[in-house]
Amino acid sequence: MKANVRLMASAGIKLLMGLVLVGLLIFLPAGTMDYPNGWLFMAVLFVPMLIAGVVMALRSPELLKKRLNVKEKESEQKSVVAMSGIMFIAAFVVAGFNYRYSWIVMPSWAVWGAVVLFLLSYLMCAEVLRENAYLSRTIEVQEGQKVIDTGLYGIVRHPMYSATIMLFLSMPLVLGSLPSFVIMLAYIPLIAKRIKNEEQVLLDGLEGYAAYCARVRYRLLPFVW
């Protein structure tokens, strides 16, 4: 019981820190708190995150513990995480400036379409977490880990990354910033680099993964890659 309380406290602190950091990155460059797209983004990002965290804490605390661990062991993955962090900071700051100086104003239908895509991506993430209890945020082979090849894993080998691509590319559009969308396109080569390294780790350490790769040919998008 105490362990679960500590876990929920740790998750709550990280959520609060993320909320404050993202808020600063968005609203300071905007020069105002009166940035409607900023508040919309904060809502669609952190409310589902809070709900997901509570559900995992109650139903699968071990999975929540894995998702809170962000310390990569692979040196190549550390560089990917660092570059991703720079990308996010740049995209959020540019979104604030885009609103402040009205560089490009997106139509409301495009923003709300991005909100729908964002929430659908969140639902896909939730489904992947339901299917795969081994889904850590770091690249590793866990004790007793088995190959998951059903559900979304029967369609592509990395459905969580498929979901995060949709999630991250919709973020700048929710913020109403096309310049930020261009910046976030850098996530595609970064995630490709991460996947190649991850698959090598799994091929070396996870029994049955090579056979799984032979059965499920595509990594992210069926018939493409």
pLDDT tens digits for range 9-26: 777 788 899 999 999 999
* Reported pTM: 0.87
Which pLDDT value is given to residue 142? 64
Q: Which long-range contacts (CB under 8 A, 24 or more apart) does 185-190 make?
A: 186/83, 186/87, 187/84, 187/87, 190/80, 190/83, 190/84, 190/87
Mean pLDDT, rounded, of the chain:
87
């550390």: which residue's tokens?
78
The pLDDT tens digits for 163-211 are 999 999 999 999 999 999 999 999 999 999 889 888 888 888 888 889 9
Which pLDDT value is given to residue 3? 59
How far is residue 84's CA from residue 40's CA, in Å, rounded to a whole number?
23
CATH of 2-215, one of 1.20.1050.10, 1.20.120.1630, 1.10.3720.10, 3.40.50.2000: 1.20.120.1630
The pLDDT tens digits for 74-107 are 666 778 888 999 999 999 999 999 999 999 999 9
Q: Closest by alpha carbon to 80, among 186, 179, 206, 202?
A: 186
Q: Which of 30-44, 138-152, 187-201, 203-217 has the lowest mean pLDDT?
A: 138-152
Q: Other CB atoms closer than 10 Å to residue 29's CB: what's the count?
A: 19
Task: Break the chain into its structural domains and give their ranges.
Answer: 2-215
